[in-house]
Amino acid sequence: MLIGYMRVSTGEQSLDLQRDALECAGCERVYEDVCSGRATERPGLAQALEVARSGDALAVWKLDRIGRSLPHVVGLVGDLQKRGVGLKVLTGDVDTTTATGRLVFGIFATLAEFERDLIHERTMAGLAAARARGRAGGRPRVMTKQKLKAAMAMMADRDNAARDVAKQLGVSVSTLYAYVDAKGQPRELAAPLLGKRTKSTRAV
């Protein structure tokens, strides 16, 4: 059985073109979704995948109708192949029920792996650059000279909890402690903001 799936991003867009193409291809059942390509919840696609059995094929008008990204599409098709279900892309000459189609999709899988490796390399390079600038990653620190002076004064008052001081200044507790210790004394990172050399002190 050939099972059709179609998707548009908004209710203002028409499904007619996809529906006509899927029906002309011989789809016995057609499921649909109206949602963004980035949506993780797709009831129509879930239904189409649920009814598909070994020997069936899922048909879509274009490849981008079923996936959020190339790696996502490759993962989805991999799951279909394990179940003996094929994929036919009407406008892309992709048909994993044929040897040629499987070869084409094998190239897609290689490209998806390449994309993942590139993302990983960029992430690691970004973290290394952040460490080289004295940051451990995550959101940039937002400590200013004015906030630092206020932090020193407030932390010197033992009645003030670090959590409350950080909240008042609009910084995280870890950022607060990166610049001042528990007694309100400036740490090494505070030196550039204060315009002088400051020895690092340890919180008690």
Q: Is residue 203 one of the residues assigned to a domain?
A: no
Percentage of the chain beyond pLDDT 70 is 80
The total domain count for the chain is 2
Say whether both 88 and 14 belong to one domain. yes
Is the pLDDT at 100 greater than 80? The verdict is no
Q: Give the pLDDT band of residue 111 (cuts 50, 70, 90).
A: low
d(CA 195, CA 89): 64
Say whether both 108 and 154 belong to one domain. no
d(CA 80, CA 66): 12
What is the pLDDT at residue 197? 54
Q: Is residue 135 one of the residues assigned to a domain?
A: no
d(CA 194, CA 116): 43
Report the chain's mean pLDDT, rounded to a whole number. Answer: 81
Q: Catalytic amino acids? A: 9
Is the pLDDT at 32 greater than 50? The verdict is yes
Query: Where residue 92 sits, what CATH number does that domain have?
Result: 3.40.50.1390
Say whether both 106 and 181 belong to one domain. no
Put the strands of the sheet holding 57-60 in their side by side order.
29-34, 2-8, 57-60, 86-89, 94-95
Per-residue pLDDT of 147-199, as tens digits, reads 888 889 888 887 788 888 888 888 888 888 889 998 899 998 888 888 765 44
Q: Is residue 41 one of the residues assigned to a domain?
A: yes
What is the pLDDT at residue 71? 76
What is the pLDDT at residue 19? 94
Per-residue pLDDT of 116-132, as tens digits, reads 666 666 777 776 776 67
Among candidates 72, 74, 114, which has minimal Cα distance to 94? 74
